Structure 1
């Protein structure tokens, strides 16, 4: 899961629990995960491409902007 690239579908920011869609090859599809910012900074608006830096089962990820 770490290193996966996805897209924000619900704003991710300080004090906010956002949502990202990630491709999960084991299940041959795309799934939604709860997302937090990996490092403090500007919020990530909807549509931003992100990379997963940490995964906490079952459905929580920490993300950083890809660009």
Structure 2
């Protein structure tokens, strides 16, 4: 899976993502679901993304790190 294939995918937070935290998200890919270390996307605001939040991948750093932002406002 290339870098560009991960960008735009949605996932769900399984470990709180926020400033100063290394969170975790699960993303459905390759016919299954995989966990990635997650950081908030630059400029996505100071808020934490709690467990259960649906997120969009905006940057992928192989092999297991993503930058995410909330998929929905609210």
TM-score between the two structures when normalised by the length of structure 1: 0.93
Q: Which runs of 5+ in 2 are unaligned?
A: 1-5
Query: Cα RMSD (Å) of the superposition?
Result: 0.8
**Is the aligned partner of 1:30 residue 2:30?**
no
Counterpart CA distance in 1 for 2:71 and 2:46 is: 14
> Structure 1 residues 34-43 or 12-21, which shifts more?
34-43
Match of residue 11 from structure 1: 16
More strand as a share of residues: 1
TM-score between the two structures when normalised by the length of structure 2: 0.85
Match of residue 54 from structure 2: 49
Match of residue 68 from structure 2: 63
Shift of 1:40: 3.6
Number of residue pairs matched by the alignment: 65
Q: Which runs of 5+ in 1 are unaligned?
A: none
Runs of 4+ in 1 over 4 A off after TM superposition: none
